[in-house]
Amino acid sequence: MSLPNPPAMMDQLQEVKIPFAAGVVESLQAGDLISLTGTLFTGRDQTHRRMMALLDEGADLPVDLAGQLLYYVGPSPARPGQVIGAAGPTTSYRMDVYTPRLLELGLMATMGKGSRSQTVREAMVRHKAVYLAAFGGAGALLSKCIIAAEVVAFADAGPEALFKFTVEKFPAVVINDVQGSDYYEMVKTGKDVSR
Amino acid sequence: MRDIEAALITEAVKKITMEAGVRLEPDILEGLVSARDSETSGLAKNILELLLVNADIAAREKIPVCQDTGVAVVFIELGQDVHINGDLGEAVQQGIQAGYQEGYLRKSVCDPITRVNTGTNTPAVIHIELVPGEQIRISVLPKGCGSENMSGLTMLPPSSGISGMKDFVVRQVVNAGPNPCPPLLIGVGMGGTFEKAALLAKKALIRPLGKHHSRPDVAALEEEILTRINEQGQGVQGLGGNNTALAVHIDLFPSHIASLPVAVNIQCHAHRHKEIVL
């Protein structure tokens, strides 16, 4: 990613490759600032409803989510010559009702913005999964960290299609780690406001 | 009486819709700069800087500031001495549709039952007010729904008074936490009726950022509530700091002797709005 005046923070992020190598997810701690490089899948409201319908029918999902990161985003359309339009996170709680079922299938990380329900937090501990927050409202900047994008399924759902993104140095904050810590809660209770 | 062609309205709406999607107005940019300069948390300061870089990339490369380019809310102040040649509502909807299509803005409007996307980002939500004169003032507010979903309305008993109103607003923002993308702009509608309070709260958002209400007691309330919100320490993106909100805008309307409606409309930092006068 090349920014005109990147904040110093952008060079100090802990680099993480996705999909995750063994042991990496377990090493992430609530409050860690990381940058993601590799591939991920996307999905938001309609994407989840359609995946649940497939699972209800006993069918396979269009992609194997085991070991993967699922990013909650509905990108804006790309202009000619662009990889993707703006592509920042959407609010995650709307996916809470669907998330435990995907974690059971081996999904290793989700990324969006905002708090997760207690049920999802417990499921993350049980399945050793993490939740990351991307920077909300920075969709133009984050589009620069996406170097390839293709629709994998549900193309007719437009921005709610399931995409595969190849990302490079995509910044995020670890909110929920596998030990059950929640960084938003830590900030609220004053346990960690030093950063 | 002045005649205005509907096609002119369509063209104007299209133009400001496309601009609003990719370019933050100077008031919100100044608000983000002053938040960055006053920020006490190192992480929040960095994120505010990153949001300013985001706005710069968006404007230069015509990439939406945020991928949620919203449901289009359109406020029209229609001079009563204007005669429109054509259908005003249809002209606005066509302008919105063309703006979202040609501006590469995301179409996010769907049927509330089937959830099938209309594919055009229409219908826009249009509020028309008749005013004296022979001009038309059109404001487009592409409203993202991460923040809209965190809004709320309550019908307080008048005995709750000002303190009940303040508590409701602060609680609404605190409960929203990181979900609506702080730093926020808080629109508050106080008084009127159920629907009037909601509309006042929404319209308070299009006031220039941080411009206080003309009544000194209301301006003082805006300042007090802003301070209380920012003392909670949730901060930018809910990651801590002293800038959970950039401003609180309150608007009022007299209410029934039995009633004190209070509406809180939450807006994110990607506060896009654009106005044109014809």
Q: Are A93 and A114 in contact (CB under 8 A)?
A: yes
The residues pairing with A113 across neighbouring beta strands, listed in sequence order, are A91
The residue written with tokens 């609506």 in the block is B180
Q: Do B237 and A183 touch (CB under 8 A)?
A: no
Mind listing the domains of chain B with CATH numbers?
A: 2-20+65-143 (3.30.360), 146-271 (no CATH)
The beta-carbon neighbor of B237 closest among A46, A49, A133 is A133
Closest-CA residue of chain A to B182 = A136
Residue A91 lies in a domain: yes
A136 min Cα distance to partner chain B (Å): 6
Query: How many Cα atoms sit within 13 Å of B224 on the Cβ side?
Result: 12
> How far does B11 lie from chain A, in Å, by closest CA?
21
DSSP characters over B184-203:
EEEEEEEES-HHHHHHHHHH
Strand intervals (E) in chain A: 14-18, 33-42, 69-71, 109-112, 130-133, 146-153, 162-176
Instruction: State pLDDT tens for residues A150-162.
Output: 999 999 999 999 9
Enter the pTM of the model.
0.95
Specify the number of domains making up chain A. Answer: 1
pLDDT tens by residue, B99-142:
999 999 999 999 999 999 999 999 999 999 999 999 999 999 99
The predicted complex's ipTM stands at: 0.94
Give the model's pLDDT for residue A2: 42
Q: What is the pLDDT of residue A5?
A: 53
The one-letter amino acid at B83: H
A158 → closest Cβ in B46, B57, B117: B117
Residue A7 within any structural domain of the chain: no
The CATH number of the domain holding residue A43 is: 3.20.130.10
For residue A8, is it within any domain?
no
Question: CA nearest A87 in B: which residue?
Answer: B67
Q: Is the pLDDT of residue A3 over 50?
A: no
What 3-state class would DSSP assign to A50? helix
Q: Is A13 on the interface with B (CB under 8 A)?
A: no
CB contact at 8 A, B157 and B260: yes
Question: Is 80 exceeded by the pLDDT of residue A10?
Answer: no
| CA dist B216 → B220, B221, B261, B263 (Å) | 6, 9, 21, 21
User: Which amino acid, B272?
Assistant: R
Give the domain range for residue A137: 15-188
Query: Which A residues in the span 107-166 are in contact with B, Cβ-Cβ below 8 Å?
Result: 113-115, 133, 135-141, 143-144, 157-160
Q: Ramachandran region of residue A128, left (φ > 0), alpha (ψ -120 to 50) or beta? A: left
CA-nearest residue of chain A to B106? A76
Which residue among A82, A88, A192 places its CB closest to the CB of B66? Answer: A88
Chain B CB contacts of A165 under 8 Å are none
- Measure CB to CB from residue B50 to each of A75, A138, A143 and give the nearest one: A138
Q: Which residues of chain B have pLDDT under 70?
A: none
Query: Within a domain: residue A5?
Result: no
Selecting from B47, B56, B146 the residue whose C-beta is nearest the C-beta of A135 gives B47
Contact call for A158 and B42, based on CB within 8 A:
no
Query: If we measure between CA atoms, which residue out of B133, B134, B122 comes closest to residue B13?
Result: B122
The whole-number pLDDT of residue B210 equals: 87
pLDDT at B82: 97
- pLDDT confidence of residue A6: 57
Judge whether residue A4 has pLDDT over 50: no
Do A140 and B233 count as a contact with CB atoms less than 8 A apart?
no
Sign of CA dihedral B183, B68, B29, B263: negative
pLDDT tens-digit series, residues B193-222 = 999 999 999 999 999 998 999 999 999 999
Question: Given an 8 Å threshold on Cβ–Cβ distance, is A91 in contact with B115?
Answer: no
- Looking at the predicted structure, is the pLDDT value of residue A195 above 70? no
